[in-house]
C-alpha cells in the first residue's frame, strides 16, 4: 500500500507512520514524540485546515496542517505482518 500524507486520513483511522519530508530538527522531533517510522497512531481529528490530532502511545499530539502534508503514513492492515 502507498504511503499518503497524514493530512489525508480520516478520523478514527489507524495508521503506521512511514516518514516525514521535514528538515532534520523537526523530523527528529517528530520521531522523539513517538511518530517514528513504524509507529502506530490513531487519527483522532482531521478537519482540513485545522491541525491534525493524533493519538500517539496514549497521548494527544497536534500537528499543524502544513506539517501533516509532509508526514507520510499507511493505513494499518495494509502492511505485511
Partner 1 sequence: MSLSSFVAHFHGPPARAEGGKEVIRVGILGFPNVGKSALFNALTGGEAKVANWPGATVEIHYGYAKYAGRLIEFTDLPGVYSLGEGGTIGEIVKSYLLLQRPDVLLVLVDGTNVERTLSLALQAAELSDKVVIAITKLDLAHSRGIHVNVEGLSRALGRKVVPTSVGWGLGLEELMRAIVEVHESRRGAPLRVDYGPLEPYLAEISSKLEQAELPSYLNARWVAVKLLERDSFVERLVGERAREAVEDAREMGVEVTRALGKEPAGVIAEARFRRSLSIAAGNVARSTLRLRRAERADKLMLDPRLSPLISAAFIFALFFAGFTVNTGFPLNVILSSFGFSQLAELVDKYNLAALMEAGIGYAISLLERLLEDSPEWARSLLIEGVVGGISVVLLFLPLIFTIALMFALLEDSGLAPRFAYGLHPHTCKVGLSGHSLFPAVVCLGCNVGGLMAVRASPNYAERLKLYLLLPFLPCQARLIVFLALAAAVGSLVGLVGILVTYFASISLVALLSYLLDKIYKSSRPIMLMDIPNLHMPLRRVVWWMAWSTTKHFLYRTGSVIFIGALLTWALSSFTPSLEYTSDPSRSIAAHISKALVPLFEPIGIEGEKSWMVIYGLMAGFVAKEIYLSSMAVITGIENPIEAISSLGLSEATILALMAFIALYIPCLGTISVIYTETRSVRVALTALVLSLLTGYVVAVAVYHAFSLAAL
Summarize as ranges the residues that interact with partner 1 (CB under 8 A). Answer: 19, 24-34, 36-39, 45, 47, 49-51, 53, 56-67
Report d(CA 80, CA 68) in Å as an integer: 24
Min dist. Cβ of residue 59 to partner 1 (A): 5
* Least distance in angstroms from the C-beta of 65 to partner 1: 7
The least CB distance from residue 39 to partner 1, in Å, is: 7
- Smaller CB separation from partner 1, 61 or 75: 61
The Cα–Cα gap between 11 and 54 comes to 9
Q: Give exposure, 37-55, as e/b (b: 16+ Cβ within 10 Å).
A: eebebbbbebeeeebbbbb
Amino acid at each position: 500500500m502507498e504511503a499518503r500524507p497524514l493530512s489525508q486520513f480520516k478520523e478514527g483511522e489507524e495508521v503506521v507512520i512511514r516518514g516525514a519530508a521535514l528538515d532534520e530538527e523537526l523530523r527528529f522531533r517528530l520521531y522523539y514524540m513517538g511518530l517514528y517510522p513504524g509507529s502506530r497512531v490513531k487519527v483522532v481529528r482531521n478537519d482540513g485546515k485545522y491541525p491534525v490530532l493524533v493519538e500517539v502511545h496514549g497521548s494527544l499530539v497536534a500537528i499543524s496542517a502544513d506539517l501533516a502534508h509532509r508526514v507520510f503514513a499507511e493505513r494499518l492492515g495494509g502492511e505485511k505482518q
